[in-house]
């Protein structure tokens, strides 16, 4: 993936990693479009960054995925990169589950990227070179027991990304997986943005941009902070890492 000269859609671009990526890629010389459900949040980003464009979009709605693809094909015919960043994360007590939360996480974190990829493929195939970037998590490889459905959706995104990359091999579309660690955003609430255990957002984005620049053909983007989770199984440390991670976190009930 070249880090400049592209037309890029970033879902969930109104806050957190999505907004920070949008701003960094805008500064790197790309035309950036952000999407999300909260127009007010999107407007805050575009007001602060006049070159960035925004479209409201409900990733849970299958028809909205098709409508967005049609709109982008008309308004941004040179779109060649999509970054599937939209996601929600909620703790769950599996002994007394809230199925509505579970279903929303599956719809947004997993079905959303699958549906939007399918809708955008005709447009991406028309470009000389395109990129699909999924955003999984270190928790795709090392589950946090208090957020079981979130971790399951991210593990599924990792698996889906591998299959998508294989099926598109030899085409004009490359497939990249961005694997964040625990980052200072508000994904799990305002307290996460101040949690000293989390990686500062600015540091995460800086390292991601450097990795994209230095190794543009890498299939996975892993900052150093996430490698203990990503490669725990390969290093023979899975059980110890799993126990340590989950013993350090509160029970969801």
Instruction: Read off the tokens for 48.
Output: 């602060």
Q: Which of 150, 160, 182, 238 is catalytic?
A: 150
Q: Is 150 a catalytic residue?
A: yes
Q: 131 in helix, strand or coil? A: strand
What distance separates the 2 farthest-apart alpha carbons in the chain?
A: 51
Half-sphere exposure of 32 (CA within 13 A, CB side): 29
Whole-angstrom distance, CA of residue 179 vs CA of residue 250? 24
Half-sphere exposure of 44 (CA within 13 A, CB side): 10
Whole-angstrom distance, CA of residue 230 vs CA of residue 224? 10
> Annotated active-site positions, please?
150
């Amino acid at each position: 993936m070249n880090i400049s000269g592209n037309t890029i859609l970033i879902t969930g671009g109104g806050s957190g990693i999505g907004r920070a990526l949008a701003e960094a890629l805008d500064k790197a010389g790309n035309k950036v479009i952000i999407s999300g459900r909260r127009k007010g949040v999107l407007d805050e980003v575009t007001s602060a960054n006049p070159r960035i464009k925004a479209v409201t979009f409900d990733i849970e709605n299958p028809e909205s995925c098709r409508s967005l693809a049609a709109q982008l094909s008309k308004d941004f015919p040179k779109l060649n990169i999509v970054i599937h960043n939209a996601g929600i994360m909620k703790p769950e007590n599996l002994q007394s589950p809230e199925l509505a939360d579970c279903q929303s996480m599956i719809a947004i974190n997993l079905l959303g990227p699958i549906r939007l990829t399918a809708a955008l493929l005709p447009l991406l195939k028309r470009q000389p070179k395109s990129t699909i970037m999924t955003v999984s998590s270190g928790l795709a490889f090392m589950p946090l027991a208090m957020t079981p459905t979130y971790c399951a959706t991210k593990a599924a995104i990792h698996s889906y990304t591998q299959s998508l990359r294989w099926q598109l091999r030899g085409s004009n579309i490359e497939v990249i997986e961005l694997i964040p660690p625990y980052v200072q955003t508000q994904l799990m609430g305002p307290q996460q943005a101040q949690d000293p255990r989390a990686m500062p957002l600015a540091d995460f984005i800086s390292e991601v941009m450097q990795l994209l620049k230095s190794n543009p053909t890498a299939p996975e983007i892993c900052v150093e902070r996430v490698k203990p989770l990503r490669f725990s199984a390969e290093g023979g440390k899975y059980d110890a890492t799993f126990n340590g991670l989950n013993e350090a976190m509160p029970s969801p009930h």
